[in-house]
Structure 1
């Protein structure tokens, strides 16, 4: 690595040497201390070699009395780069101004990276930081972590710890979310477990309470499955009934799917507009306003600019592509409408029975009714139907 850096600073050249005695050329290089490397033999009389720029001049001098033909292929390195750019004054000015801009820009925050949040949205954390004065364009040097934490945490009740570490132009926000303890029930909390919907009992897991049904019984919605009141020699004993009751359930749902829809044809025209976001300011590189025509789609792509070594620059290129379509009223095929209605009903069914529920059997039918296709789903499922129902204790009940 060190040798490559030195060779780049000195400059290097790739040459092709043709001679009737190529070994003599190699011996002359060794005798006069001419450095060379990356030897590539092309033929028995021709080979390529890499040497330094001073070594190239010396090589031509020592081989002047021989039949060696030295052909320069390319030059690389800092001297060659300077030769090409020394009359390009704009590039030289940019090379001088760029380090200054990097030094000034690295003192401010231009990007955020939030980690450690699973339930608290990233937008909520960034909004809380913005309310406390930490936003894009804020000076990142010298942030008082304790003061910032004391002002941000009251705005985020589900966060117990927050730290902002600024590296370059990026503020890395690390949060620790609050772990809520389980709800503790008091001895006075009494309840029944009732059926959420009609069903046929298949399994009973009673953890506390009086079992009021048996496996194989048919129950109705609202019927008590586990009771919170039990008889005792001293009267009634109240408790908090708790358990899981699984049952077979049946559903019959119908959803109307419109057959008349608005469809889009091919693209009539595509317009690409480019804008540059510097911090929170946008510079439009196109003429006209931002009002979009009707019946069009807009796709915006944001490209953040980074240096080769990964430093994020406070410049974002926004490319907006607007595509105009022709919209016309069309007729949807009944098979497509049936498939869409089936997807909607199955999604609603899975959401209703929960993750631990199982769909045992389904039957889908459809009939046309005017401009709609009525899609009907009949399903048989197995799910947990027991829900908690508070038990009100009155004085009459107590007697």
Structure 2
């Protein structure tokens, strides 16, 4: 038979007909105009079929006439779901309350960020934005149009050439483009460039000032390399000496490296703690109890709820508690020696600049004692050796 329309909305039941004259019962259904469908015999002298909820009670006289009996196997459709929901009132109220809270929370501003500002203080921008109603826990429907907010903030914030207000979900971002102003040149006093250490000159470039040394000359710490005084004693002029001087400098390092080295590794055993996040608060739902590890690391994973392009202030957070342990590794004396030298070279680059160059290294003393390798190493390094020295005039001059 033809299936009626909107069966799920109207509700229907799956029934099993037993005993009596089933063939006469089906013929009686056809004559009475009661819609049944998916009629199928289950076993001898039984038949299964579907009938609309509104027609179910009309089956009684037909069943009595044909001597059949009916057994309801399943109830399907919205009418039955509403009945079940009515029986669980607290559950229904909880669902409605949850979606109402979700709607209210998504209608609030939870976060206000400022990006692009360099010289203008973030606090000043947030204060001006607050006067325009842009603040956390503000209802979104109470905000002015974003274009209007941008114009008003631009007028209230001196030093900005453009201000943009962008709203995504429950977050507002204020974009700042500061007005470009010529950078004031720093006032620099006349100065010399002097050597900051004993060295042998390898290269000298004087952009401004008078060079007093040449290549392959040995200089002492504090010696003037490029003078800021031009001319002679009768006619002299003080300028800001500029330039670059490189020289060979010797650095002595006392290095010690342990033979047995300890490292932190993950064992692979983890425990999870789950939280329901509401705004900036979390309610723990899973993973109670003391952490069973002596040593461990914790990694957080955020999983906020989203609706289309909106990021809602509700979601889940998982804390992964990962067990760690300390392992020991024994290295050879040569490996320890290599590690110590590499560490010293990294320290040289960090202290004296990445443009420095290690020319040579000489191990002055080496020994293995108390589970460590000890070395005294002399490094020959080509580096920039200049530092500034202000020219001081005598009182009588």
TM normalised by structure 1 equals 0.59
Equivalent pair of 1:300/1:318 in contact (CA under 8 Å):
no
Partner of 2:295: 296
Equivalent pair of 2:272/2:318 in contact (CA under 8 Å):
yes
Q: Does 1:181 align with 2:180?
A: no
Q: Does 1:248 align with 2:248?
A: yes
Partner of 2:384: 384
Q: Which ranges of structure 1 fall in alignment gaps of 5 or more residues?
A: 1-81
Task: Quote how far apart the aligned CAs of 1:192 are.
Answer: 0.8
The whole-number CA distance in structure 2 between the counterparts of 1:136 and 1:363 is 63
Partner of 1:87: 81
Summarize the alignment of residues 197-236 of structure 1 with structure 2, pairs less than 5 Å apart: 197-232=197-232, 234-236=234-236
Task: Provide closer, same or farther for how the CA distance between residues 250 and 265 of structure 1 changes in structure 2, counting only shifts above 3 A.
Answer: closer
The whole-number CA distance in structure 2 between the counterparts of 1:211 and 1:244 is 11
Summarize the alignment of residues 324-339 of structure 1 with structure 2, pairs less than 5 Å apart: 324-325=323-324, 327=326, 334=333, 337-339=336-338
The whole-number CA distance in structure 1 between the counterparts of 2:101 and 2:181 is 44
The whole-number CA distance in structure 1 between the counterparts of 2:136 and 2:377 is 52
Task: Provide closer, same or farther for how the CA distance between residues 229 and 265 of structure 1 changes in structure 2, counting only shifts above 3 A.
Answer: closer
Equivalent pair of 1:266/1:325 in contact (CA under 8 Å):
yes
Partner of 1:193: 193
Aligned residues: 308
Q: Is the radius of gyration larger for structure 1 or structure 2?
A: 2
Equivalent pair of 2:257/2:373 in contact (CA under 8 Å):
yes
The whole-number CA distance in structure 2 between the counterparts of 1:213 and 1:238 is 19
Task: Quote how far apart the aligned CAs of 1:330 are.
Answer: 7.2
Equivalent pair of 1:342/1:375 in contact (CA under 8 Å):
no
Q: Equivalent residue of 2:221, what SS?
A: coil
The whole-number CA distance in structure 2 between the counterparts of 1:336 and 1:126 is 53
Summarize the alignment of residues 80-229 of structure 1 with structure 2, pairs less than 5 Å apart: 87=81, 100=100, 103-111=103-111, 115-116=115-116, 129=126, 137-139=137-139, 141-142=142-143, 164-176=165-177, 181=183, 183-185=185-187, 189-229=189-229
Task: Quote how far apart the aligned CAs of 1:193 are.
Answer: 0.2
Task: Provide closer, same or farther for how the CA distance between residues 265 and 202 of structure 1 changes in structure 2, counting only shifts above 3 A.
Answer: closer
Deviates more, 1:165-174 or 1:332-341: 332-341
Equivalent pair of 2:262/2:329 in contact (CA under 8 Å):
yes
TM normalised by structure 2 equals 0.59
The whole-number CA distance in structure 1 between the counterparts of 2:287 and 2:246 is 65
